[in-house]
Amino acid sequence: MFLQRMKKVLLLLGVFLMLASCSEYQKVLKSDDAGKKYALAEELYNQAIVENSKSTFRKALRVLEQIVPQYRGKPQGEKLSFLYADTYYQLGDNQIAGYQFERFVASYPKSDKAEEASFKSAKSYFADSPRFDLDQAETVKAIGELQKYIDKYPNGEFLDQANQYVAELRVKLEKKAYEIAKQYHHTENYKSAIVAFNNFITEYPGSPFREAAFYYRFDSAYELAINSYEVLMQERLNTAKGFYTNYKKYYPEGSEYYEQIQANYQDLESRLQNF
Whole-angstrom distance, CA of residue 205 vs CA of residue 30: 60
Nearest to 57 by CA among 72, 47, 65, 69: 47
Helix axes 159-186, 114-127, angle to 10 degrees: 20
**So where are the chain's domains?**
26-113
Residue type, 234: Q
Q: How far does Cα 106 stand from its chain's mean position?
A: 22
Contacts of 117 (CB under 8 A, 6+ apart): 82, 85, 101, 104, 105, 111
Residue type, 115: E
Neighbours of 157 (CB within 10 A): 11
* pLDDT, one tens digit for every residue, the chain (275 residues): 434 544 443 443 443 344 344 577 888 777 777 788 899 989 999 999 999 999 999 999 999 999 998 888 888 899 999 999 999 999 999 999 999 999 999 999 999 999 999 999 999 999 999 988 888 999 999 999 999 999 999 999 999 999 999 999 999 999 999 999 999 999 999 999 999 999 999 999 989 999 999 999 999 999 999 999 989 999 999 999 999 999 999 887 767 888 889 999 999 999 999 87
**Predicted local distance difference test score (pLDDT) of residue 19:** 39
Tell me which H or E stretch contains 164: helix 159-186
Residue type, 12: L
Question: What dihedral angle (degrees, nearest 10) is formed by the CA atoms of 150, 153, 155, 161?
Answer: -40
Contacts of 100 (CB under 8 A, 6+ apart): 81, 84, 85, 88
- What stretches of 31-158 show up as alpha helix (H) in DSSP? 34-51, 54-71, 77-91, 94-107, 114-127, 137-152
CATH T-level assignment (fold) for domain 26-113: 1.25.40
**Is the distance from CB of 140 to CB of 173 less than 8 angstroms?**
yes
Angle at 212 between CA 206 and CA 217, to 5 degrees: 105
**Is the distance from CB of 191 to CB of 224 less than 8 angstroms?**
yes
User: What phi, psi does 130 have (nearest 5°)?
Assistant: -80, 175
If phi over 0 gives left and psi between -120 and 50 gives alpha, with beta otherwise, what is residue 31?
Answer: beta
**Predicted local distance difference test score (pLDDT) of residue 254:** 67
Sign of CA dihedral 97, 102, 108, 111: positive
Whole-angstrom distance, CA of residue 178 vs CA of residue 191: 15
Q: What would the DSSP string read from start to end of 180-237?
A: HHHHHHHTT-HHHHHHHHHHHHHH-TT-TTHHHHHHHHHHHHHHHHHTS-HHHHHHHH
